[in-house]
Amino acid sequence: MADWPVVLAPVDPDSEDRLFFTEHEWDTIDAATARIIPTDHHPGAREARAVRFIDRYLSGIGHVYAAADGSGFLGMSGKLADAWRGRIADLGETYRQGVRDLDANAHRRFGADFVSLCDEDQDAVLEQMSGAPKPAPVALTSDGGNPTIQVYAFDDGLDFFDALVTHTRQGFYGDPVYGGNHDRAGWTVIGFPGPESLKDTMDGTYSVREYYVQDYDWRDLIPHLRGEGGS
Protein backbone atom coordinates (compact mmCIF):
# COMPACT_ATOMS: atom_id res chain seq x y z
CA MET A 1 0.00 0.00 0.00
CA ALA A 2 2.99 2.31 0.30
CA ASP A 3 2.66 3.13 -3.42
CA TRP A 4 -1.10 3.66 -3.42
CA PRO A 5 -2.18 7.27 -4.07
CA VAL A 6 -4.10 9.31 -1.53
CA VAL A 7 -7.37 10.15 -3.29
CA LEU A 8 -9.64 11.52 -0.55
CA ALA A 9 -9.11 13.90 2.34
CA PRO A 10 -9.65 12.66 5.90
CA VAL A 11 -13.23 12.60 7.16
CA ASP A 12 -14.24 15.99 8.55
CA PRO A 13 -14.94 15.25 12.24
CA ASP A 14 -17.71 17.86 12.30
CA SER A 15 -19.42 17.00 9.02
CA GLU A 16 -22.96 15.65 9.08
CA ASP A 17 -23.19 15.46 5.28
CA ARG A 18 -24.72 12.23 4.00
CA LEU A 19 -22.76 10.39 1.30
CA PHE A 20 -24.85 7.19 1.13
CA PHE A 21 -27.91 7.29 3.35
CA THR A 22 -31.04 9.28 2.71
CA GLU A 23 -32.10 11.56 5.56
CA HIS A 24 -34.57 8.95 6.82
CA GLU A 25 -32.04 6.12 6.54
CA TRP A 26 -29.44 8.18 8.40
CA ASP A 27 -31.86 8.99 11.23
CA THR A 28 -33.00 5.37 11.46
CA ILE A 29 -29.49 3.92 11.57
CA ASP A 30 -28.43 6.60 14.05
CA ALA A 31 -31.33 5.57 16.31
CA ALA A 32 -30.51 1.87 15.95
CA THR A 33 -26.83 2.33 16.77
CA ALA A 34 -27.88 4.34 19.83
CA ARG A 35 -29.74 1.28 21.13
CA ILE A 36 -26.79 -1.05 20.47
CA ILE A 37 -24.36 1.16 22.43
CA PRO A 38 -26.70 3.40 24.43
CA THR A 39 -25.81 6.67 26.08
CA ASP A 40 -25.69 6.45 29.87
CA HIS A 41 -23.16 8.09 32.18
CA HIS A 42 -20.75 7.60 29.27
CA PRO A 43 -21.22 8.65 25.64
CA GLY A 44 -22.72 6.06 23.33
CA ALA A 45 -22.78 5.34 19.62
CA ARG A 46 -24.75 8.49 18.87
CA GLU A 47 -22.14 10.76 20.44
CA ALA A 48 -19.38 8.78 18.72
CA ARG A 49 -21.12 9.40 15.35
CA ALA A 50 -21.19 5.71 14.49
CA VAL A 51 -23.76 6.48 11.81
CA ARG A 52 -21.24 8.73 10.03
CA PHE A 53 -18.67 5.93 10.04
CA ILE A 54 -21.24 3.55 8.49
CA ASP A 55 -22.37 6.14 5.94
CA ARG A 56 -18.80 6.77 4.78
CA TYR A 57 -18.02 3.06 4.62
CA LEU A 58 -21.07 2.34 2.47
CA SER A 59 -20.51 5.32 0.16
CA GLY A 60 -18.12 3.45 -2.17
CA ILE A 61 -14.54 2.25 -2.03
CA GLY A 62 -13.04 5.62 -1.13
CA HIS A 63 -13.20 5.27 2.66
CA VAL A 64 -11.89 1.73 3.07
CA TYR A 65 -8.14 2.17 3.59
CA ALA A 66 -6.80 5.18 5.46
CA ALA A 67 -3.27 6.31 4.62
CA ALA A 68 -0.78 5.29 7.29
CA ASP A 69 0.12 8.91 8.02
CA GLY A 70 -3.52 9.95 8.42
CA SER A 71 -3.37 12.27 5.42
CA GLY A 72 -6.46 10.80 3.76
CA PHE A 73 -7.71 7.65 2.11
CA LEU A 74 -5.94 5.43 -0.40
CA GLY A 75 -7.22 4.68 -3.87
CA MET A 76 -7.65 1.10 -5.02
CA SER A 77 -7.50 -0.16 -8.58
CA GLY A 78 -7.82 -3.32 -10.62
CA LYS A 79 -9.37 -6.52 -9.31
CA LEU A 80 -9.11 -5.43 -5.70
CA ALA A 81 -11.18 -2.33 -6.42
CA ASP A 82 -13.73 -4.41 -8.34
CA ALA A 83 -14.03 -6.85 -5.45
CA TRP A 84 -14.56 -4.05 -2.95
CA ARG A 85 -17.17 -2.37 -5.15
CA GLY A 86 -19.18 -5.57 -5.20
CA ARG A 87 -18.79 -6.05 -1.47
CA ILE A 88 -19.83 -2.49 -0.63
CA ALA A 89 -22.76 -2.62 -3.04
CA ASP A 90 -24.07 -5.76 -1.34
CA LEU A 91 -23.71 -4.19 2.10
CA GLY A 92 -25.44 -1.04 0.92
CA GLU A 93 -28.46 -3.01 -0.24
CA THR A 94 -28.44 -4.96 3.02
CA TYR A 95 -28.71 -1.68 4.90
CA ARG A 96 -31.40 -0.18 2.68
CA GLN A 97 -33.50 -3.32 3.05
CA GLY A 98 -32.72 -3.38 6.75
CA VAL A 99 -34.17 0.09 7.23
CA ARG A 100 -37.29 -0.97 5.35
CA ASP A 101 -37.58 -4.05 7.56
CA LEU A 102 -37.09 -2.02 10.74
CA ASP A 103 -39.90 0.31 9.74
CA ALA A 104 -42.19 -2.54 8.65
CA ASN A 105 -41.72 -4.35 11.96
CA ALA A 106 -42.13 -1.10 13.90
CA HIS A 107 -45.42 -0.36 12.12
CA ARG A 108 -46.76 -3.87 12.68
CA ARG A 109 -46.06 -3.73 16.41
CA PHE A 110 -46.36 -0.06 17.32
CA GLY A 111 -47.88 1.78 14.36
CA ALA A 112 -44.97 4.12 13.59
CA ASP A 113 -41.57 4.27 11.93
CA PHE A 114 -38.68 2.87 13.97
CA VAL A 115 -37.09 6.28 14.51
CA SER A 116 -40.30 7.60 16.10
CA LEU A 117 -40.50 4.89 18.77
CA CYS A 118 -39.38 5.20 22.37
CA ASP A 119 -36.22 3.41 23.45
CA GLU A 120 -38.05 0.40 24.88
CA ASP A 121 -40.10 -0.13 21.71
CA GLN A 122 -37.01 0.25 19.53
CA ASP A 123 -35.33 -2.42 21.66
CA ALA A 124 -38.31 -4.71 21.12
CA VAL A 125 -38.08 -4.30 17.34
CA LEU A 126 -34.34 -4.98 17.37
CA GLU A 127 -34.84 -8.04 19.58
CA GLN A 128 -37.37 -9.40 17.11
CA MET A 129 -35.02 -8.77 14.22
CA SER A 130 -32.04 -10.33 15.99
CA GLY A 131 -33.94 -13.40 17.12
CA ALA A 132 -32.34 -13.15 20.58
CA PRO A 133 -33.08 -11.34 23.86
CA LYS A 134 -31.52 -7.97 24.48
CA PRO A 135 -28.07 -8.57 26.02
CA ALA A 136 -27.21 -7.34 29.48
CA PRO A 137 -24.96 -4.28 29.78
CA VAL A 138 -21.26 -4.97 29.32
CA ALA A 139 -19.44 -4.86 32.65
CA LEU A 140 -16.38 -6.23 34.37
CA THR A 141 -16.73 -9.91 35.21
CA SER A 142 -16.98 -10.99 38.84
CA ASP A 143 -13.33 -12.02 38.98
CA GLY A 144 -12.18 -8.60 37.80
CA GLY A 145 -11.43 -9.63 34.24
CA ASN A 146 -12.54 -7.69 31.21
CA PRO A 147 -15.28 -8.93 28.87
CA THR A 148 -14.37 -9.76 25.29
CA ILE A 149 -15.94 -7.59 22.59
CA GLN A 150 -15.31 -8.46 18.99
CA VAL A 151 -14.78 -5.20 17.15
CA TYR A 152 -13.13 -6.12 13.86
CA ALA A 153 -14.85 -8.88 11.92
CA PHE A 154 -15.45 -9.81 8.32
CA ASP A 155 -18.78 -8.41 7.23
CA ASP A 156 -19.17 -10.43 4.03
CA GLY A 157 -22.52 -12.18 3.97
CA LEU A 158 -23.77 -10.78 7.27
CA ASP A 159 -27.46 -10.11 7.64
CA PHE A 160 -28.58 -6.59 8.49
CA PHE A 161 -28.64 -6.92 12.27
CA ASP A 162 -25.24 -8.58 12.54
CA ALA A 163 -23.72 -6.05 10.12
CA LEU A 164 -25.26 -3.20 12.12
CA VAL A 165 -23.81 -4.50 15.40
CA THR A 166 -20.37 -5.06 13.86
CA HIS A 167 -20.25 -1.63 12.24
CA THR A 168 -21.61 0.12 15.34
CA ARG A 169 -18.73 -1.33 17.36
CA GLN A 170 -16.25 -0.29 14.69
CA GLY A 171 -17.70 3.22 14.58
CA PHE A 172 -17.47 3.46 18.36
CA TYR A 173 -14.04 1.95 19.00
CA GLY A 174 -12.19 2.41 15.69
CA ASP A 175 -9.72 5.12 14.81
CA PRO A 176 -11.46 8.51 14.37
CA VAL A 177 -9.88 8.88 10.92
CA TYR A 178 -12.71 6.70 9.57
CA GLY A 179 -15.44 9.07 10.72
CA GLY A 180 -16.59 7.49 13.98
CA ASN A 181 -15.27 7.62 17.55
CA HIS A 182 -15.97 11.35 17.52
CA ASP A 183 -13.88 13.23 20.09
CA ARG A 184 -12.36 9.83 20.89
CA ALA A 185 -15.54 8.97 22.78
CA GLY A 186 -15.15 5.21 22.49
CA TRP A 187 -11.54 5.30 23.59
CA THR A 188 -12.39 7.54 26.52
CA VAL A 189 -15.03 5.09 27.74
CA ILE A 190 -12.53 2.21 27.92
CA GLY A 191 -9.65 4.35 29.18
CA PHE A 192 -7.52 4.01 26.05
CA PRO A 193 -5.43 7.15 25.43
CA GLY A 194 -4.84 6.39 21.76
CA PRO A 195 -2.78 8.39 19.26
CA GLU A 196 -3.71 11.93 18.31
CA SER A 197 -3.49 10.81 14.68
CA LEU A 198 -2.40 7.84 12.65
CA LYS A 199 0.80 9.72 11.85
CA ASP A 200 1.76 9.49 15.53
CA THR A 201 1.80 5.70 15.27
CA MET A 202 4.27 5.85 12.38
CA ASP A 203 6.87 8.37 13.57
CA GLY A 204 7.16 7.17 17.15
CA THR A 205 5.25 10.04 18.70
CA TYR A 206 2.76 7.58 20.13
CA SER A 207 3.92 4.52 22.01
CA VAL A 208 2.35 1.92 24.29
CA ARG A 209 5.70 1.01 25.83
CA GLU A 210 4.67 2.32 29.24
CA TYR A 211 1.92 -0.30 29.41
CA TYR A 212 4.32 -3.22 28.99
CA VAL A 213 5.84 -5.04 31.93
CA GLN A 214 9.38 -3.72 32.02
CA ASP A 215 11.01 -6.05 34.52
CA TYR A 216 10.59 -9.79 34.11
CA ASP A 217 12.53 -13.02 34.17
CA TRP A 218 12.54 -14.93 30.89
CA ARG A 219 12.16 -18.12 32.92
CA ASP A 220 8.72 -16.90 33.93
CA LEU A 221 7.74 -16.62 30.28
CA ILE A 222 9.39 -19.62 28.60
CA PRO A 223 8.86 -22.98 30.32
CA HIS A 224 11.96 -24.73 29.01
CA LEU A 225 14.17 -22.09 30.63
CA ARG A 226 12.76 -23.31 33.93
CA GLY A 227 13.59 -26.89 33.01
CA GLU A 228 9.94 -27.68 32.20
CA GLY A 229 8.45 -29.21 29.12
CA GLY A 230 11.54 -31.09 27.95
CA SER A 231 14.54 -29.74 26.10
Express each pLDDT in 82-98 by its tens digit.
999 999 999 999 999 99
| Bridge partners, 6 (sequence order) | 74
pLDDT bracket for residue 134 (50, 70, 90): confident
37, HSE (Cβ side, Cα atoms, 13 Å): 28
pLDDT bracket for residue 146 (50, 70, 90): low
Q: Examine the pLDDT at 28 and tell me if it is beyond 80.
A: yes
Per-residue pLDDT, 197: 83
Per-residue model confidence as pLDDT tens digits over 98-116 = 999 999 999 999 999 999 9
Per-residue model confidence as pLDDT tens digits over 39-96 = 999 999 999 999 999 999 999 999 999 998 888 999 999 999 999 999 999 999 999 9
Region 187-191 average pLDDT = 91
Residue 75 burial class via C-beta count within 10 angstroms: exposed 0-12, middle 13-18, buried 19 and up: middle
Contact present, 195 and 201 (Cβ < 8 Å) = yes
**What is the β-pairing status of strands 73-74 and 6-8?**
antiparallel
Q: CB count, 10 Å around CB of 184?
A: 17
pLDDT bracket for residue 231 (50, 70, 90): very low
Contact present, 114 and 123 (Cβ < 8 Å) = no
| Bridge partners, 66 (sequence order) | 73
Q: Distance (Å, rounded) from C-alpha 163 to C-alpha 36?
A: 12
pTM: 0.84
DSSP 5: P
Per-residue pLDDT, 171: 96
